[in-house]
Amino acid sequence: MFDYKQHITEDAAVLLPVKLPNVTSNINVLMKRIDLVHPIISGNKWYKMKYNIVEMNRLGIDTLLTFGGAYSNHIHAAARAGKIFGFKTIGLLRGEEHLPLNETLKSAVDDGMELHYIDRATFRERESEEFLNSIKNKYGNVYILPVGGTNKIALKGCAEIVEQIDIDYDYICSASGSGGTFAGIVAGLNGNSKGIAFPALKGGGFLKEVISNLVFEYSGKQFSNWSLNTDYHFGGFAKLTKELVEFTKEFEKLNGFELDYIYTNKMMFGIAELIQSGYFKPGETIVAIHSGGIQGNIGMQRNIEKVLS
């Protein structure tokens, strides 16, 4: 195992009770602050990347190639991981280059990441054998990490999130993008307690199959103690409403820390509404995962201001 502890502080991922705006109940809501393990390689990005870095080292490969969009927390985190752990990074970005670079991409370049842009049609084919072969031909012997950092190896790290929760609880909740974090959580639960995933994108029902397949590929097991709630995408990925923004700002006032505006705020809004609707039983305990991504809030400011105007 490579030595990560001088840079990553998993013990900082404290479990805190939180208050929800306009919610009065005897449901216990706590937040697992995995966003605190590192300011840049934050939250689930670290847990998904951790054992992929181990595997890359085992294979003797010195370059990580991965994918993302212009505001990708994963691209941001992968670049910083390469800088502090001493490997090269290449980011293949969806769409065309726009200059000047936004803060996310500027930071990635400053951390040594080599950026290349691919058109959206080609990006959709990024998992095809033909495309992967073209990458090998162009970039050589690179370690390919899928978009969002999600693969079977990533689940091992995400399962450790569950191991690091040292209380009894009834539900564990996570936002979901590519499905890898929640799949690791399901595997880590191993049939105990219940899990709810809150997809951040519209039409997230497809993640049920993705998560099931990832869990089975990783563990050889299938579990029925989890579900998707697709009601809280607020119009789609990175979409906002005035109600959501006001909820997020009020949450921050009540609890003294930020949520990100793409994933965790939607999950927390969903949890609050489910409590109000009586979905959870009195006295139950919910653990919500703060998956990080706070740096993305800078890029969301224009959208935030727009919905509030």
Across 33-41, average pLDDT: 96
Look-up of token digits 């809280």: 232
Residue ending a domain, among 104, 122, 149, is 149
The model's pTM: 0.94
Strand order in the sheet with 285-289: 15-17, 28-32, 285-289, 171-176, 194-199, 226-228
Q: How many domains does the chain have?
A: 2
User: Within this chain, do residues 209 and 302 fall inside the same structural domain, yes or no?
Assistant: yes
Question: What pLDDT score was predicted for residue 82?
Answer: 97
> Alpha helices, DSSP H only, in 25-178?
44-59, 73-85, 103-110, 120-124, 129-139, 152-163
Count of other CB atoms within 10 angstroms of residue 11: 10
User: Within this chain, do residues 217 and 273 fall inside the same structural domain, yes or no?
Assistant: yes
Secondary structure in 3-state letters for 119-142? CHHHHHCCCCHHHHHHHHHHHCCC
194, 171 contact by CB (below 8 A): yes
**Among positive and negative, which fits the CA dihedral 171, 216, 147, 234?**
negative
SS3 118: strand
Indicate whether 3 belongs to any domain: no
Residue 1 has pLDDT above 70, yes or no: no
Q: Which two tokens stand for residue 306?
A: 């727009």
Q: What's the length of the chain? A: 309
Question: What pLDDT score was predicted for residue 189?
Answer: 98
Look-up of token digits 């959580």: 185
Look-up of token digits 């579990």: 223
Q: 14-18, 137-141, 167-171, 293-297: lowest mean pLDDT where?
A: 293-297
Residue ending a domain, among 149, 166, 201, is 149
Indicate whether 1 belongs to any domain: no
Q: Tell me, what DSSP letter sits at residue 102?
A: P
Which whole-number Å values give the CA distances from 241 to 30, 39, 135, 174, 258, in the listed order?
25, 27, 39, 20, 17
pLDDT digits (tens, 9 = 90+) for 293-309: 898 888 888 889 888 88
44, 77 contact by CB (below 8 A): no
User: Within this chain, do residues 172 and 296 fall inside the same structural domain, yes or no?
Assistant: yes
User: Within this chain, do residues 140 and 192 fall inside the same structural domain, yes or no?
Assistant: no
Indicate whether 56 belongs to any domain: yes
Indicate whether 5 belongs to any domain: no
pLDDT digits (tens, 9 = 90+) for 109-153: 999 999 999 999 989 889 898 899 999 999 999 999 998 899 999
User: Within this chain, do residues 262 and 164 fall inside the same structural domain, yes or no?
Assistant: yes
240, 300 contact by CB (below 8 A): yes
Range of the domain at 139: 44-149
Indicate whether 235 belongs to any domain: yes
**Identity (one letter) of the amino acid at 55?**
E
115: domain CATH number is 3.40.50.1100
Residue ending a domain, among 131, 149, 167, is 149
